[in-house]
Structure 1
């Protein structure tokens, strides 16, 4: 009995020592140099009291835990989907009738924490069949509308009147929060398709629509009788339960009656004026391979307050944009027509590797960049964060039309990395030679070409040609 007890104690001691060794080994493996340095600095702050040093160490540990959770979350996101590209399944239907529908893109921050900087913006598409009426609605958000396809009338109900304007392909317009707005699809055989960027004022990342013919019945009937000075029978006759829905067909005569409008004007002279046709302006860049149209913060000036500009790219079939990046803005882009591809270079979803050598010799950590590629087709959305290099190309069959809302646009610049006036050629000769370890002339030969921004695409691209 005594011998068994001794053996048990020895075995228990061995197991304890083994577990302790494994634990120490795991701690060594998982040790973060950044955490070690942070805690070391806390302990060597002469002006800190003992409690100050303990509080400092706890802050280091909290930061390390948050960093670990963020890395785990981003790693999981990257395994499942491209964080910058959104397809049909990423939209949810907010409203649908037999004559049209409204779809809302899921919150950007729901896809990735990297997009939390645009988490307050909501992208919405509306599609209405021919000769339809979208009944008056106001929103708790500012909205910027862009006509992707079709011809329509927009009605804005002001305090003392209603202003109507014609809309056509390429028109953009701001609708201020709280403004009753309705649409009429003037075409009988073509759908009206609108892109809408909402900037919520109440709930970040969510907007609400208010339809008077629907929400008024939510008030108690006795209060409505008193407010409207009308018996409830007459009230029920106006707000009946068999409403057509907020998007519904109307007769040709009704379309014609609603199509009597005053023309839009430019430049704007009052807030929430008429539409501004982006495609009617002089192209910002234009050649045989594509055209880029871009608004500015002062044309139309209504976008200045929103710190927002819009751009429209028409990339000729088989062509592509230069690799480029924007300095401050984040681009929220929707494909209006055609097929193509996008490539975005991302520094976030990467691992670290070790390399040795270089001019200085030695070994150091080198952050890798990851190329995130996707095919594009009509209705898809992609986001390009500030500073991220990217390029977009059209397939060989059709031109590619892309509309981009560029948020945080004040002071933004676009820097091309190839072609005429590219930023690499602008680098001074000495720095260029030190960076690439080649004569500056040879470097310029690689980056320079006569075209600006739009180029012929690759001759053979099996991944995108089908």
Structure 2
């Protein structure tokens, strides 16, 4: 009898274990399933690489799960803290602390600007404390904003560095449309050499600052092109290139957008020379193989490939002059491989056409796919907005293009209208604006915003209304790589030719529930186009809104 009982108990335990395993499999995270499937289907992977890929999928799954659990615990702790301190006005308390920090700052103008920021952040009507708490977390939880800390140095020496922005999808699934796109920034001191490299990615570069030269080697050809501020240039995947900063005083600063050709969203740099910050790929081969391929003994090979020069090194004036005699971009006939004759002969400059929008409040320059063969098959627009201090660009939205925006110079902030996730009801760290409270049904929106400074990157998806505002202290210069741009239209929501102003009178009355004349008085009052005085500039100049 005892034997039967033990046997039955063992069967029961085994059944429960099998049931748990079955439930776990049934409830497996969909993203984990997709990741595992991609590992198994990846061409060129052997069995060991597939196993490693599956392991990476599992690690990433548990990492994200732990992050979600930490966020849940954090929310519970905040709720508990709020209950304990419900008699205290947290906004006023934080305003006082913020103003105290301002007092410790030097300079009258800096101190005044600090006070204004504090008041904007914490002075609210009663019952709006929650909005203040949301704004405090906005930059940390904002899936559309990347700061300097999100740029990782891949090459760094005392003479410069190459930094790569983390994958967009690492921060949010909302950005999975950009999964196969990466961004990098090169900074090189005056009179320096950036060592030969090739990438498993196509990339387009934009010269944000300085002047230099780039040399490309393709099969039996070698071409060198001079670079200056505003130049746009495409480099095909796998092409060996090297660069120099020709200027004796100014840094060379280059922004790049890349499309990896091997694994989605992942690219690698292959350094032929190597150095203290990156090893030469030649050292991955056996000495026997290199001796045979190069017909050179191991001693001499070791001497070359074990040198520790570094990826960015100082060069003499004579070396810079020899390396920097290139062709000027945007001139001459004949096509640059792999482009056909009649295309661009090299870099083209975004300033050559002049601004497409211009007034006292800013300038907008752009290069569209139709303007250059180099951009056409990449479906890319490159634009540069220079917003006068205290002014703003927009609000407007793009019909098709998603903007990857990089702040080159200055400070400011941006605001964007984002659809609220109706399925989860989550505001995802955004600031909920007035009028966005959920009613009985229909789409609602929330405002997402963030302060901007040099090297900030922010994403504006297609269809999302956005406005960018420069600080009172300096102009704000923003470079935009606009992807999926074929057939894109930029629709203004204020100023001349705004969408609402172009509607039929009956459409205005039916849509807004007031006479069309009243709608026209609101949307027809601003006579500028695209760039306008910013909120504080309007108040300072005493503009009347009546």
Q: Which interval holds the TM-score relative to the shorter structure?
A: 0.7 to 0.9
Q: Which residue of 1 aligns with 2:52?
A: none
Instruction: Please point out which of 220, 226, 236 is paired with 2:292.
Output: 226
Instruction: Please point out which of 226, 233, 236 is paired with 1:176.
Output: 236
Shift of 1:282: 2.2
CA contact (8 A) 1:268 1:274 kept: no
Higher mean displacement: 82-91 or 342-351: 342-351
Q: Which residue of 1 aligns with 2:390?
A: 318
Is 2:312 aligned against 1:252? no
Is 2:462 aligned against 1:383? no
Cα distance in structure 2, aligned partners of 1:228 and 1:180: 19
Shift of 1:242: 2.4
Is 2:493 aligned against 1:417? yes
Q: Which residue of 1 aligns with 2:536?
A: 459
CA contact (8 A) 2:200 2:260 kept: yes
Q: Which residue of 1 aligns with 2:375?
A: 303
Cα distance in structure 2, aligned partners of 1:458 and 1:113: 33
Shift of 1:268: 7.1
CA contact (8 A) 1:268 1:300 kept: no
Query: How big is each residue's C-alpha offset from its partner over 1:175-225, in whole Å with a ceiling of 9 and x where there is no partner?
Result: 100111111011122211111111001111111011122111221111111
Cα distance in structure 1, aligned partners of 2:335 and 2:521: 49
Q: Which residue of 2 aligns with 1:121?
A: 181
CA contact (8 A) 2:382 2:481 kept: yes
CA contact (8 A) 2:330 2:349 kept: no
Cα distance in structure 1, aligned partners of 2:528 and 2:450: 25
Once superposed, which parts of structure 1, at least 4 consecutive aligned residues long, lie more than 6 Å away? 75-79
Shift of 1:352: 8.7
Cα distance in structure 2, aligned partners of 1:246 and 1:130: 15
Is 2:420 aligned against 1:344? no
Give the 3 Å change call, closer, same or farther, for CA 301–155 of structure 1 in structure 2.
Answer: same
Structure 1's unaligned 5+ residue stretches are 1-68, 354-362
Shift of 1:459: 2.6
Shift of 1:289: 0.9
Instruction: Please point out which of 137, 150, 153 is paired with 2:213.
Output: 153
Q: Which has the larger radius of gyration?
A: 1
Cα distance in structure 2, aligned partners of 1:352 and 1:404: 29
Instruction: Please point out which of 199, 206, 225 is paired with 1:165.
Output: 225
Cα distance in structure 2, aligned partners of 1:265 and 1:321: 29
Is 2:160 aligned against 1:107? no
Higher mean displacement: 134-143 or 93-102: 93-102
Give the 3 Å change call, closer, same or farther, for CA 219–302 of structure 1 in structure 2.
Answer: same
Shift of 1:160: 1.5
- Mapping of residues 157-306 of structure 1, within 5 Å: 157-213=217-273, 214-239=280-305, 241-266=306-331, 269-270=335-336, 271=338, 273-306=345-378
Query: How big is each residue's C-alpha offset from its partner over 1:272-306, in whole Å with a ceiling of 9 and x where there is no partner?
Result: 64111102222111111111111111211111111
Cα distance in structure 1, aligned partners of 2:157 and 2:516: 62
Cα distance in structure 2, aligned partners of 1:281 and 1:102: 30
Instruction: Please point out which of 426, 430, 439 is paired with 2:515.
Output: 439
Higher mean displacement: 310-319 or 269-278: 269-278
CA contact (8 A) 1:352 1:365 kept: no
Cα distance in structure 2, aligned partners of 1:393 and 1:349: 26
Number of corresponding residues: 381
Query: How big is each residue's C-alpha offset from its partner over 1:122-152, in whole Å with a ceiling of 9 and x where there is no partner?
Result: 1111111111100111100000101111111
Is 2:444 aligned against 1:368? yes
Is 2:475 aligned against 1:399? yes
Give the 3 Å change call, closer, same or farther, for CA 107–131 of structure 1 in structure 2.
Answer: same
CA contact (8 A) 2:420 2:443 kept: no
SS across alignment from 2:183: strand
Query: How big is each residue's C-alpha offset from its partner over 1:330-374, in whole Å with a ceiling of 9 and x where there is no partner?
Result: 100000011111001111457399xxxxxxxxx832432111111
CA contact (8 A) 2:329 2:349 kept: no
**Larger % of strand: which?**
1
CA contact (8 A) 2:169 2:178 kept: yes
CA contact (8 A) 2:379 2:485 kept: yes
Please give the TM-score of this superposition, normalised by the length of structure 1. Answer: 0.78
SS across alignment from 2:175: helix
Give the 3 Å change call, closer, same or farther, for CA 424–268 of structure 1 in structure 2.
Answer: farther
CA contact (8 A) 2:392 2:531 kept: yes
Please give the TM-score of this superposition, normalised by the length of structure 2. Answer: 0.67
Shift of 1:161: 2.6
SS across alignment from 1:167: strand
**Larger % of helix: which?**
2
Give the 3 Å change call, closer, same or farther, for CA 81–268 of structure 1 in structure 2.
Answer: farther
